[in-house]
Structure 1
Amino acid sequence: MSTKPANVRTRILLAAKELFSTQGIRATGVDTIVKSANINKMSLYKHFSSKEALIVAYLQNSDSEFWSWFVEQIEVNARTPKDKLIAIFDVHAGWLVSPDFQGCPLIKASVEFPDQSHPVHQVSAAFYRKFRSYMTDLAGQAGAQFPERLAGQLCVLFQGAIVSEQLQRNSVAGNYAKLAAEILIAINIE
C-alpha cells in the first residue's frame, strides 16, 4: 500500500518545520529531513525540486497558517479599526508567551538569507509587507492622519518584540510593545 503524495508532502513539510525551527534552515540538511519524514530522497525531490523550493514552501505555509490564525483572533476580539490595531498587540503578546513560541520563522529565515534578492528572503519580506499593509488599512480606517507612518511604527514594535522574545524568553516584550502601541495609537488617532 503506497502513501498518497499529499501525505508525503505534508510529512516532509512537518519534518522541515520542526527541524528548521529548532536547528536552523542552513544547518538542517536534506538527509536529516528525509530521515525525520521517514521517506527517501527521491520522494523529497518528487515534491520539491530543491532544498530552496522546500524552504520557500515551508515559509509560505508558515505565512498562510499564521496569517489565518492571527487575523481570525483579531476579528474575534475587536470590532472597530482602532480596537483591531490594539488587538494586534494583545494577540501578539499572547503568542510570544505561549509555550509553542519558537520565534518567527520568517524573521529567522531572512536572517539566514540576508540577500534581499534571494527567494527565501523575498517570501519573508512579502509577509511583513502584507502585515504592514493590513495595519496601514486599519490605521486609515481608524482616522490616522498618516496611516503609513503609524503602521511602520507599529510594525517596528511588533517585529522588535518578536526578536526580543527570541533572544530572552519571558522578557515581557509583548507587554512593552502593547504599551508603546497604545501610546502611538492614542497620539495618532482621535
Structure 2
Amino acid sequence: MAVIVGLTGGIGSGKTTVANAFAKLGVQYVDADLVARKVVEPGSACLAAIFEHFGESIRTPTGELDRAALRKIIFQEDKEREWLEQLTHPAIREQLKRELAACSGQYCLLVHPLLFEKGHEALCQWTIAISVTPEQQIERVMQRDQNNQQQVKNILATQLSDIERCAKADFIIKNTGTADELNDKVLSLHNMLQLQLV
C-alpha cells in the first residue's frame, strides 16, 4: 500500500491545481470533495436523509442535491451544519479509506480541505499545507463560484486560518506566484518525498 500524504488548504487555495501538478508527476490522489459528492449521489442513504431533514427546496428537478441551496443554509446555521457533518462524515471517512487502499506508487495524496479540522491527518504519514492570503482566497472563490464576499467569509470562518494550518503541516507550498513557480515547488517537494521513502 502506498504511503499517504495529506494535502490541505482552505477554500480557494488551489488544492486541485496542486494535486493535478503532482498527478502529472505520476502521483495518484484521492479528493475528499469528490468523495463527499459520491456519498450523497441519488439513491444514497445520506441523500435520502438530507432531503427528509431539509425538505424539497434543496432537491434539483433531476433529483440531485442542490449544493448552492444547501450551502446557504449550513453556513448560516451552525446547528444545521453540525447535523449534516454527523450524517455524512462517517460515510466519507470509510469511502476515503477504501479509495486510499486502492492507490499504488511510492505515495499517494489525500486532498482534503478539512484535513486537520476533521482529524484525518491521522491517516497520513506526512501533511502538506497550501498557503495563500485570505484576500486571494476570497477573490478566487467569488470568481469561481459566484459567491458573494460575506458567504466566502462565512465558509472561511469554519476553517483553520492559514497560520494555524501551516503550523500543523510537515511541508508548506506557497501558492502566491505564477503557475510555473507552483509547478517548480511541487516538483521539488515530490523529489524530497521520494528521497524520504527510499
Of Structure 1 and Structure 2, the greater strand share is in 2
TM-score (norm. length: structure 1)? 0.36
Structure with higher Rg: it is 1
Higher relative contact order (CA 8 A, sep 6+): 2
Q: Given the two structures, how large is their TM-score scaled by the length of structure 2?
A: 0.34
Higher helix share: 1
